[in-house]
């Protein structure tokens, strides 16, 4: 028991630079510039060291907010609307104007996304049940879809269901 305690007390804590820590975080997933800066600040690194590490990573192409936003939009567009995606990316420090442009480019018609979600999630929707319809509309609104797009997709879905 004493040997174990002595071994622990003689160990020196390993310290890593902000750059090394940032590389470590980037191995798990892509991150925005702000996310990485926040994570490094949370770990106690100085602002100057964080700025230097981030600039170096950007010069290597390891941090690219536009690439990050494109990837994020592609991953989220099957389940969320433009407004929600824009809001989430804004919280991650990505430029709102760039996000809006990428959303318009990558998510051309939200009604199609809503229609797909209707098929997957609400296969046996009872259109006469006001409570069920209200919950369904709320579900899509929370995900950042516009009322007009929800209404259009539900109308199209209803037409197709009634044909069967």
- What does the pLDDT read at residue 66? 95
Rounded Cα gap, residues 3 and 25, in angstroms: 35
- What does the pLDDT read at residue 7? 44
Q: How far is CA 130 from the centre of its chain?
A: 32
Spell out the per-residue pLDDT of the chain, length 164, in tens: 455 444 443 433 347 899 999 999 999 999 999 999 999 999 999 999 999 999 999 999 999 999 999 999 999 988 899 999 999 999 999 999 999 899 888 877 888 889 988 888 887 778 888 998 999 999 999 999 999 999 999 999 888 887 76
- What does the pLDDT read at residue 161? 80
Domains and CATH numbers, the chain: 1-63 (1.10.10.10), 64-108 (1.10.10), 110-163 (1.10.10)
- What does the pLDDT read at residue 163? 72
Residue 153's SS3 state is helix
Q: Are the C-beta atoms of residues 68 and 81 closer than 8 Å to each other? A: no
pTM of the shown model: 0.78
- What does the pLDDT read at residue 122? 82
- What does the pLDDT read at residue 28? 93
């Amino acid at each position: 028991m004493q040997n174990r305690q002595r071994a622990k007390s003689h160990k020196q804590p390993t310290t890593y630079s902000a750059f090394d820590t940032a590389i470590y975080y980037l191995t798990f997933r892509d991150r925005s510039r702000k996310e990485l800066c926040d994570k490094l600040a949370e770990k106690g690194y100085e602002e100057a060291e964080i700025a230097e590490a981030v600039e170096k990573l950007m010069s290597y192409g390891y941090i690219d907010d536009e690439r990050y936003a494109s990837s994020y939009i592609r991953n989220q567009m099957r389940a969320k609307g433009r407004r929600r995606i824009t809001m989430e990316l804004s919280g991650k420090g990505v430029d709102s104007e760039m996000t809006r442009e990428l959303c318009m480019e990558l998510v051309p018609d939200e009604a199609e996304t809503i229609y797909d979600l209707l098929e997957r999630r609400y296969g046996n929707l009872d259109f006469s049940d006001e409570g069920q319809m209200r919950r369904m509309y709320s579900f899509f609104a929370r995900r950042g879809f516009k009322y007009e797009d929800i209404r259009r997709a539900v109308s199209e879905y209803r037409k197709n269901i009634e044909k069967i």
